[in-house]
Chains A and B, each alone.
Chain A
Amino acid sequence: MSEAAIDADAAHEDDDHGHHDEPFLGHHFKDHDHQFNTGKLGIWLFLGQELLFFGGLFCAYAIYRGMHPEIFVEGHHFLDVNLGAINTCVLLFSSLTAAWSVRMAQLGNKKGLMLMIALTIACAFGFLGIKYIEYSHKFHEGILWGQLFAPSPEAMEHAMHGVEANSRLHIFFSIYFVMTGLHGIHVIGGIIAYAWLLKRAAAGHFGPNYYGPVDFIALYWHLVDLVWIFLFPLLYLIH
């Protein structure tokens, strides 16, 4: 859904009937600046929409943490803080490369732009790889969401040290999986968007005059990072 939107949002620049001499300038815009500013407003509105979308999940989180704080304290013992912290660093680094890719496009440095995009994609894959390790570990131990929550006795003992777990503990994992899962889907969306961007960058489409899509997709990528910045302490770091 969102990746389609972000692609469309970035793609609308090169509208069909362009100015004759400017292949990437839409016929209904005055000039590149006009197009860039309009596109930027569009992507910010899209990010606002994303915030409300994740806002629903954060709301569910807040309500359950308010009503049943125990399950959060118990649940976080099942998560691996180290992997979470490493993933945070990976995403932060990818945000740096994403921001740098905008700089490269603005300077018209094609090689640098492609390198930064490639690094961002690599980090995104790295993030998903670590997430995969975490998830498969959980699946293996039967630590799943809601109805499917059936942890092995060892996993239970390891996290709870013999204390009986709250009967709503599975709700914590519903929230954990749905929040990190949707975030993961946004990462995949980012990879698709960046792959498309890499192709266009290789074709030499971007330069100081026209770099809207690089900027917009980077903004989207930073938002994905922002969401994780909050998910990490809310899910992994509970006292």
Chain B
Amino acid sequence: MSAPAVDVGHADYLKHAKGILSWLYTLDHKRIGVMYLIVTSVSLLLGGAFALLVRAELFTAGPTIMEHDTYNRMFTLHGAVMVFLFIIPSIPAALGNFVLPIQLGVKDVAFPRLNLASFYIWVLGACFLMWSMYDSAIDTGWTFYTPYSSDNANAVSAAAMGVFILGFSSIFTGINFIATINKMRPKGMTFFKMPLLLWSLYATSLIQVLATPVLAITLLLLTLERTMGLGIFNPALGGDPVLFQHFFWFYSHPAVYIMVLPGMGVISELIATFSRKRIFGYSFIAFSSMAIAFLGFLVWGHHMFTSGQSKTASIIFSALTFTVAIPSAIKVFNWLATMKGGAIWLTTPMLYALSFIWLFSIGGLTGMFLGTLNVDVHLHDTYFVVAHFHYVMVGGTLMALFGGIYYWWPKIFGRMPNDKMGRLSALLTFIGFNVTFFPQFILGSRGMPRRYYSYLPEFQDLHQISTVGAFILGVGILVGFAGVVMSLKNGKKAPANPWGANSLEWYCSSPPPHENFKVQPEATDPYDFSGWKWDKRTEGYVRKASEA
């Protein structure tokens, strides 16, 4: 197999056209990815600010810095912003948009216009959500449960429509990715020779296309219920509020995998690259992504064990929930097996990857407790649940996102991120995260309910530890952002391949030219790292002479 030549020489995509309009009208997947990266990062900071306010309030029992009404709004906004504006679009729409076409060696995604449209649909949805905050911030929790949401006086309709619109952004990204991966793979790249990131994005996209429309119809019905008195979910009118939960979780359980599967893909890339070893059990990791995507559709009722759902349904859902653990565990074992005997290079992205494995394992295993029917009746709606899903969603997505940002930043902006700050941030987020959320497992198992404004005196110590941890985590995230953003000004110029990885994006220059590749290159073996050697002059990897 002849390796594609390193593509250098013509203007990179950042300099290709100038002016703000050249960004706003761009059809270039790279620029759209960068725009997504900016807006999702801003959302992360916003959602993080809400989280810190919530934690600050919980520093003491009773009023600390805000009234209980404000508190209810704060945790709702934290959830809604983090889930819908940040986690769901973060890795697929930002990093995925940038990396996916280049890993396939194509010039763009299949439908560039749809890609830009989905970005603006995101912006429109975000505007609705912001408007609802300005109007009268919702306090229903991010889940919009009926009947409370059917007839409270807040701007639930605006928020629900915002999420409805955001859903279509997600669907269109999914359609684009599936079509691109299916139809535009380079010569020699069969499905089982794709980088694992593409497998996980593929599985994610399938969920986005098949689950998100159900969220859309749910929120549409909720909005109609509020504006026109439809009554399908409102028990006062003879409707069925539990049906809302079925609808909502048919989307929102699979959505958990929209959040974490792309992260798993990123981690697969990082672990293999920085262990300098062929990924262990490639096809198992690939199949487990698809299995997670499929099984994820069959377990939604585990959120409803205490909702009045029938016993039959609960038993079936509980049993099915355990099956999801199998593919998740397969991934973790395969990552560990990849590292065993590898030449591990502890770069910043690798530190994030290791912290992902640790946090995801804890999050996944505690999920098993919650999936057990009788245990869940005790733990439902306590801090145990809060800790569990933060370990999966933050420990999973956030760590993978930062790992991914530090890994691809040289490719995206052509600058090496600040390694010292990166390592510091990886350390701070890991410590801060565990200090925040581990005490919450204990709180929850002792009966501290979630979303409460106040608590019994015996919970105070653990709450205070958790709040301190949250601020450490906040600092860690800020340091992480500073490490990459400051590199734009004074960072070292990045070589085409700083890590010695072998998927196609490392074959074009950093940053890539406008059209990525003049002609679509032949596929490489993404996990064969033997063809590269360290080059002192560029401080990056270059192809070994024998193959060039």
Interface positions of A (Cβ within 8 A of B): 1, 4-5, 8-9, 11-12, 15-16, 26-28, 34, 37-39, 41-42, 45-46, 48-50, 52-57, 59-60, 63-64, 67, 145-148, 167-168, 170-171, 174-175, 178, 182
A38 close to B171 (CB less than 8 A): no
Seed contacts A8-B172, A56-B247, A60-B247; 9 additional CB < 8 Å A-B pairs: A12-B114, A15-B113, A38-B182, A45-B178, A57-B217, A60-B221, A147-B229, A148-B229, A178-B224
In the complex, the chain A residue whose C-beta lies closest to that of B117 is A8
**Nearest Cβ on chain A to B30's Cβ, whole angstroms:** 13
Whether A146 lies near B213 (C-beta < 8 A) is: no
Give complex CA distance A51, B210 in Å: 9
* Residue contact B183 to A38, C-beta cutoff 8 Å: yes
State whether the Cβ of B270 lies closer than 8 Å to any Cβ in chain A. no
Please report which residues of chain B, range 164-210, place their CB below 8 angstroms from some CB of chain A when the two chains form the complex.
165, 168, 171-172, 174-176, 178-179, 182-184, 209-210
Query: Measured between alpha carbons, how far is A155 from B21 in the docked complex, in Å?
Result: 59
Q: Is the CB of A56 within 8 A of B213?
A: yes
How many angstroms from the CA of A39 to the CA of B225 in the assembled complex? Answer: 36
Identify the closest chain A residue to B210 (Cβ). A52
CA distance A9 to B229 in the complex (A): 34
A145 to B239, CA, bound (A): 12
| Nearest CB of A to B237, in Å | 6
Residues of the A chain whose Cβ atoms lie less than 8 Å from the Cβ of B114: 5, 8-9, 12, 42
7 nearest A-B residue pairs (beta carbon) = A147-B229, A56-B217, A146-B231, A53-B213, A12-B111, A28-B107, A52-B213
Q: Can you list 13 A-B pairs, Cβ within 8 angstroms, ordered by A?
A: A26-B112, A27-B515, A28-B110, A38-B183, A39-B111, A45-B178, A49-B175, A49-B213, A52-B211, A59-B247, A60-B247, A63-B243, A146-B225
A1 touches B111 (CB 8 A): no
Closest to A54 in B: B217
Docked complex: B244-271 residues within 8 A CB-CB of A? 246-247
CA distance A53 to B221 in the complex (A): 11
B217 touches A53 (CB 8 A): yes
Of the candidates A28, A37, A57, the one whose C-beta lies within 8 Å of that of B108 is A28
Residue in B27, B218, B228 whose CB lies within 8 Å of A16: B27
Q: CA separation between A42 and B210, bound complex, in Å? A: 14
CB of B381 closer than 8 Å to a CB of A: no
Q: What is the minimal beta-carbon distance from B133 to any residue of chain A, in angstroms?
A: 23
Instruction: Scan B88-113; emit 1 where CB is below 8 A from any A CB, else 0.
Output: 00000000000000000011101111
A7 to B407 CA separation, bound complex (whole angstroms): 37
B354 in the interface (beta carbon within 8 A): no
Q: Name the B residues within 8 Å of A34 (CB-CB).
A: 183
**A42 with B175: CB separation less than 8 A:** yes
Whether A41 contacts B172 in the complex (CB less than 8 A), given A53-B216, A56-B213, A168-B238, comes out as no
Taking the closest CB of chain A, its distance from the CB of B167, in whole angstroms, is 10
Provided the pairs A49-B171, A148-B229, A171-B232 are in contact, do residues A42 and B110 lie with their beta carbons within 8 angstroms? yes
Which residues of B are found within 8 Å of A147, using beta-carbon distances? 228-231, 237
Residue B210 contacts which of A5, A27, A38, A48 (CB distance < 8 angstroms)? A48
- Asked if B440 CB lies within 8 Å of chain A CBs, one says no
Choose among B172, B184, B211, B216 the residue that contacts A38 (Cβ–Cβ < 8 A). B184
Q: Which residues of A contact B217 (CB under 8 A)?
A: 53-57
What separation, in Å, do the CA atoms of A170 and B171 have in the docked complex?
33
| Nearest CB in chain A to that of B176: its residue | A42
Count A/B pairs, Cβ under 8 Å.
143
Q: Does residue B344 face the partner (Cβ distance < 8 Å to A)?
A: no
Cβ-defined contact, B209 with A41, below 8 A: no
Contact with A along B516-533 (1 / 0, CB 8 A): 000000000000000000
A5 touches B172 (CB 8 A): yes
Q: Chain A residue with minimal CB distance to B247? A: A56
Which positions in B face A, CB cutoff 8 Å?
Answer: 27, 106-108, 110-114, 117, 165, 168, 171-172, 174-176, 178-179, 182-184, 209-214, 216-218, 220-221, 224-225, 228-232, 234, 237-240, 243, 246-247, 515
Q: How many Å lie between the Cα of A145 and that of B225 in the bound state?
A: 10
Pick the contact of B117 from A4, A59, A145 — CB < 8 Å? A4
Q: Are B107 and A27 in contact (CB under 8 A)?
A: yes
Residues in B whose Cβ lies below 8 Å from that of A28: 106-108, 110, 112, 184
- Selected contact of A55 from candidates B212, B214, B243, CB within 8 Å: B214
Partner of B237, one of A38, A60, A170, A182: A170
Chain B residues near A11 (CB-CB < 8 A): 113
Q: Tell me which of B210, B220, B232 contacts A175 (CB under 8 A).
A: B232
Given contacts A1-B168, A15-B112, A63-B240, contact A41 B228 (CB under 8 A): no
Q: What B residues does A53 contact at CB under 8 A?
A: 213-214, 216-217
Contacts of B112 in A (CB 8 A): 12, 15-16, 26, 28
B179–A38 touching, CB < 8 Å: yes
Q: Which residue of A lies closest to B113 (CB)?
A: A12
Task: Let me know if B231 and A171 touch, CB within 8 A.
Answer: yes
**In the complex, chain B residues whose CB is within 8 Å of the CB of A9:** 111, 114, 175
**For residue A46, which residues in chain B have a CB less than 8 angstroms away from its CB?**
175
Q: Which residue on chain B has the smallest CB distance to residue A1?
A: B168
Q: Report whether B214 and A167 are in contact in the complex, using a CB–CB cutoff of 8 Å.
A: no
Given contacts A15-B112, A56-B217, A63-B243, contact A170 B231 (CB under 8 A): yes
Does the CB pair A178–B230 fall under 8 Å? yes
> Known: A60-B221, A171-B237. Contact between A146 and B175, CB under 8 A?
no
Q: CB-CB < 8 A to A145: which residues of B?
A: 228-231
Chain A residues whose C-beta falls within 8 Å of the C-beta of B220 in the assembled complex: 182
Inside 8 A of A27's CB, which chain B residues have their CB? 107-108, 515
Say how far B184's CB is from chain A's closest CB, in angstroms.
7
Check if A67 sits within 8 Å of B240, measured CB to CB.
yes
From known contacts A9-B114, A38-B183, A53-B214, infer whether A146 and B107 are also in contact, taking CB-CB under 8 Å. no
Smallest distance from the beta carbon of B99 to chain A beta carbons, Å? 16
Closest A residue to B112 by beta carbon equals A15
- B111 A42 Cβ-Cβ under 8 A: yes
In angstroms, Cα B175 to Cα A178, docked, is 26
Inside 8 A of A64's CB, which chain B residues have their CB?
232, 240
A55 / chain B contacts, CB cutoff of 8 Å = 213-214, 217
Residues from chain B with Cβ under 8 Å of A4 in the complex? 117
Residues of B within 8 A of A168 (CB): 238
Q: A45-B175, A63-B243 are in contact. Are A56 and B229 (CB under 8 A)?
A: no
Chain A residue at smallest Cβ distance from B212: A49
Give the distance in Å from the alpha carbon of A145 to the alpha carbon of B232 in the complex.
10
Tell whether, in the assembled complex, residue A146 and residue B237 are in contact, meaning their CB atoms are under 8 Å apart: yes
Contact between chains at A41 and B214 (CB < 8 Å) = no
Let me know if B110 and A174 touch, CB within 8 A.
no
Report the Cα distance A65→B408, complex, angstroms.
53
- CB of A174 within 8 A of CB of B213, answer no
